[in-house]
Structure 1
Amino acid sequence: MNYKFTTPIEMPRSTHYGNNYWIFESRKLHRRVTAYSNLEYENLLTLEMNPEVVYYCEQPCSTTVFVSGKEHKTIFDVYIVYKNGREEFQEVKYQQELDSDSPKGKRSQEQIEIQKMWCLQNDFPYVLRTDKDIEKGQYFIRNLSVLSAKARRFHIESKEADKAIISYLSKIKRTTIGLLSESGRFEINKTLDYLSDLYYRGIIKFDDICNDCLTNKTEVIFCGI
């Protein structure tokens, strides 16, 4: 599939208003991805580990919108393509930045309205994501970070092993990480590596991943293929 936006705009760190700076290897994109704030990184991490997302591009394009004869320029945070073909632009903001009384409130609101207008004119869905949408629970991002790191390094390369593991999980439907480790179907100390790969692909999910750390007691639920 040919995606409309594939080259991120380079943003000099010294001139970007955001704080912090992240670079990570994307298994989904086969390249390094850059985020310019903690929240942008967290959002990209959720896209990286969402099996419904087939493609995304950070800082995908700079555009200009004219409002009342005045030129307004803006850069979107991320462009996304889902399995069902839906394309989407997202802007990422902390909820407190949207407060009209905050130092960034007015600027943030103006930016959002400009982006909404451009998306409306160009027939793209537009989604505003805040920390309340992204940080779903105390442990969600922490767990995703662990799973993402393992999924980047480990792929189930043997088709026979992949088929056998999926067949086993499809029969039991629900179990724990600890019981899977004891089942003898995984290499010693590599159970979470296998499960991270399956989670990345959307074949399994973990129960209560938002509110508790991943442990041997964490339940694994088969989702199907």
Structure 2
Amino acid sequence: MNYKFTTPIKMPRGTHYGSNYWMFESKKIHRCVTAYSNLEYENLLTLEMNPEVEYYCEQPYSATVFVGGKEYKTIFDVYVVYKNGREEFQEIKYQQELDSDSAKGKRSQKQIGIQKMWCIQNNFQYTLRTDNDIEKGQHFIRNLSVLSAKSRRFHVTSTEADKAIISYLSRLQKTTIGLLSESGRFEPNKTLDYLSDLYYRGIIRFEDICNDCLNNKTEVIFCGS
């Protein structure tokens, strides 16, 4: 598939955009990804680890919109392509900021209105994601960060070990990390590495990943290969 937006706009770190600066290597899009706030980083992490997301690009496009004879420019936070073919632009905001009557809150609300208008005019889907959508539980982002880091370093797709592990999990359907570690089917101390790769690919999911840190009692559920 040819993606419409593939080159992120470089934002200056000397402005408010660089107040919280994150960079990480993306396994999904095969390059270094940059985020300019903690919440933007968390959102990119959810996209990176969502098996339904095929591609994404941060700071993908600067749009121009005319409202009441005035010209406004806005940069979208993310362009996302899903495996089902859906494309959308995302804007990332804290809910508290949107609910505020402060000058910053009003600027954000105006920005969202401008972006929605551009998307309607240009036939694009638009999604506003807040911390309520992204931070699904006390431990969700922390767990994703661990899984993402391990999955970037570990890749076993299409190997005999990979096929054997998937076959084993398909028979069990549901077990725990601890029991898998004790099963003898994983290299010593590599169980979570394997599971992180399988989670990244959507072959397994973890029970209660939002509200509890990953541990030996965490249940592993087979989703299908």
Normalising by structure 1, report the TM-score. 0.98
Q: After superposition, where does 1:1-225 map in structure 2 within 5 Å?
A: 1-17=1-17, 19-157=19-157, 159-225=159-225
* Structure 1 unpaired stretches of 5+: none
- Describe the SS at the equivalent of 1:104: helix
Looking at structure 1, the residues matched to 137 and 109 of structure 2 have their Cα atoms a distance apart, in angstroms, of 26
Q: Indicate the larger mover: 7-16 or 193-202.
A: 7-16
Query: How has the CA–CA distance of structure 1 residues 96 and 18 changed in structure 2, closer, same or farther, with 3 Å as cutoff?
Result: farther
Looking at structure 2, the residues matched to 169 and 139 of structure 1 have their Cα atoms a distance apart, in angstroms, of 25
Aligned residues: 225
Identity of aligned residues (%): 84
* 1:17-50 Cα distance to aligned partner (Å, 9 max, x none): 4631000000001100000000000000000000
* 1:179-216 Cα distance to aligned partner (Å, 9 max, x none): 00000000000000000000000000000000000000
Shift of 1:15: 2.2
- Describe the SS at the equivalent of 1:205: strand
RMSD (Å), alpha carbons? 0.9
Contact 2:17 / 2:37 at 8 angstroms: preserved in 1?
A: no
Contact 2:205 / 2:223 at 8 angstroms: preserved in 1?
A: yes
* 1:104-138 Cα distance to aligned partner (Å, 9 max, x none): 11100000000000000111110000000000000
Normalising by structure 2, report the TM-score. 0.98
* 1:58-114 Cα distance to aligned partner (Å, 9 max, x none): 000001000000000000000000000000100000011102413411100000000
* Structure 2 unpaired stretches of 5+: none
Looking at structure 1, the residues matched to 179 and 37 of structure 2 have their Cα atoms a distance apart, in angstroms, of 38
Q: Indicate the larger mover: 91-100 or 79-88.
A: 91-100
Aligned-partner residue type, residue 51 of structure 1: P
Aligned-partner residue type, residue 110 of structure 1: K
Contact 2:116 / 2:126 at 8 angstroms: preserved in 1?
A: yes
Contact 1:59 / 1:76 at 8 angstroms: preserved in 2?
A: yes
